[in-house]
Structure 1
Amino acid sequence: MSAVWLNLITILCVSCTALSNPESSGVVWKDVGGAVTIQCRPPELNQEMLNLRKGLNEDIQVLFKESNSDKNTIATEFTSRLQLNGEFPNVDILIKNLTSGDTGPYWCEYKRFDPKSSQVVTIKGEGSVLLVVTDGPHQDTAQQCETSSKNLVLVPVVISAAVLLGILTVFFIWLIFKTKTLRTTVTPRHVATNDVYEDMRGTLRR
């Protein structure tokens, strides 16, 4: 059981990072058997297709809808549980009878054909969410995810501080070594004495 929660926490933390942009709607917590509405909105007009994808790598296509067609392509596992509201391209996607397997990030993806480049242009839409379906309290998981995110931010700060401290230490050691070297290389001043003169005076007296 602990391994399941550990995997869930990992998915949450990675997904929180992936969804941390203005186009996402954040984390949505739901209980098993509940429902969630994903509101997909295009950042630009004149879109021709809408994809609702699931997964960190967006490898699961939940819904495909074209602007000029009333037919919708829905993944088998969502066929009896998915309902569309609104008019294209502003589509509200309702998913009912949620299960724990529905947990994951959902991405609103729009496409249109660009006649200038003769290519299909894909852009992310607003409304992407991270859905978490649980059958119990989820506050502890949220707190752990938040703590992990803070730790991820602190790691580069600590590393930068350590590198800076190391550079300053090396600089001060070099400065002290340089100062000592200069002191030892100074030529001592020659002081004239009268030893020879006094010795000669003593010889003459004899």
Structure 2
Amino acid sequence: MVMSLLRSLLLFYFSFNELTTAAEAILWVKTEEKFTMKCSTTLKDQEGMYLYVGLDRDMEVLYYHQNSSKLTPRKRYWDRVKTEGPVDQLTITISNLTIEDTGVYWCVYTKFNEAMYENDINQGRGSTLVVVNDNEKPCPSGVVNIIIISILTILLCVIFLIWVVSRVKRCFNQGGYTPQVFPDSVYEDMAKNQMYPPDTQQVESYPYSVSTKGGSRTTE
């Protein structure tokens, strides 16, 4: 249950990340183990495929050339990578994983465009988020729950802020409250009818005298 929720949250995050496309799969593996992913494309006659890792394809993992069937891993993956199948249905396996291998792996296909004299680059299918766990230091379930709750809380706050901002913008676009303005004729009518504010009204006074006899008061 916990892992399913965390998987859903990660997919939700990557689906709203403007730098990358959402990861199509998430793999949880341990250090010193291996993972396998498949890169594919419906485009025909693709000459080669690059595999990158990182949120924005930060690091190149390998290059596979279709015509020569030559695999060129980069130094970090030199003796840890193997491939199987044609370039448009290429299965890739990376072994002896470390914590540093955690990241999103992307397939990018290339074909030389003779008219433009440059390579056409196309995103392939099979992008995978790989999370490598350390065997000696497993993450306690309580810590995982706290992380999940924190991520969910942040996402809810972001959604609420977006909703509030949209409502405020809508109110400004529709126009705010306009104070009511009375025409001058209203004030003229009030003056004719001797309508004064409470603090300026004329109060008619009546003369009276006070008799101290018997504690009573009489008016004249």
User: C-alpha separation between the residues in 2 aligned to 1:94 and 1:143?
Assistant: 33
- What percentage of residue pairs aligned between the two structures are identical? 24
Q: Is the 8 A contact 1:31 1:133 kept in 2?
A: yes
Shift of 1:97: 1.7
- Aligned length in residues: 173
Amino acid at match of 1:85: E
Amino acid at match of 1:87: P
Which runs of structure 2 are paired with 1:130-169 in the superposition (5 Å)? 130-135=129-134, 136-137=138-139, 139-140=144-145, 141=147, 144-164=150-170
Q: Is the 8 A contact 2:53 2:60 kept in 1?
A: yes
Shift of 1:166: 6.4
Higher helix share: 1
Whether 1:31 aligns to 2:30 is yes
Amino acid at match of 1:158: V
Quick one: higher RCO (CA 8 Å, sep 6+), 1 or 2? 1
Which runs of no fewer than 5 residues in structure 2 stay unpaired? Answer: 1-9, 194-220
User: C-alpha separation between the residues in 1 aligned to 2:48 and 2:97?
Assistant: 26
Which runs of no fewer than 5 residues in structure 1 stay unpaired? Answer: 1-10, 192-206
Which runs of structure 2 are paired with 1:12-161 in the superposition (5 Å)? 17=17, 18-21=19-22, 24-135=23-134, 136-137=138-139, 139-140=144-145, 141=147, 144-161=150-167
Question: TM-score w.r.t. structure 2 length?
Answer: 0.65
Distance 1:149 1:29, change over 3 A: farther
Amino acid at match of 2:189: P
Larger Rg: 2
Shift of 1:125: 0.4
Q: Is the 8 A contact 1:15 1:105 kept in 2?
A: no
Question: TM-score w.r.t. structure 1 length?
Answer: 0.69
What is the aligned partner in structure 2 of residue 6 from structure 1? none
User: C-alpha separation between the residues in 1 aligned to 2:40 and 2:153?
Assistant: 31
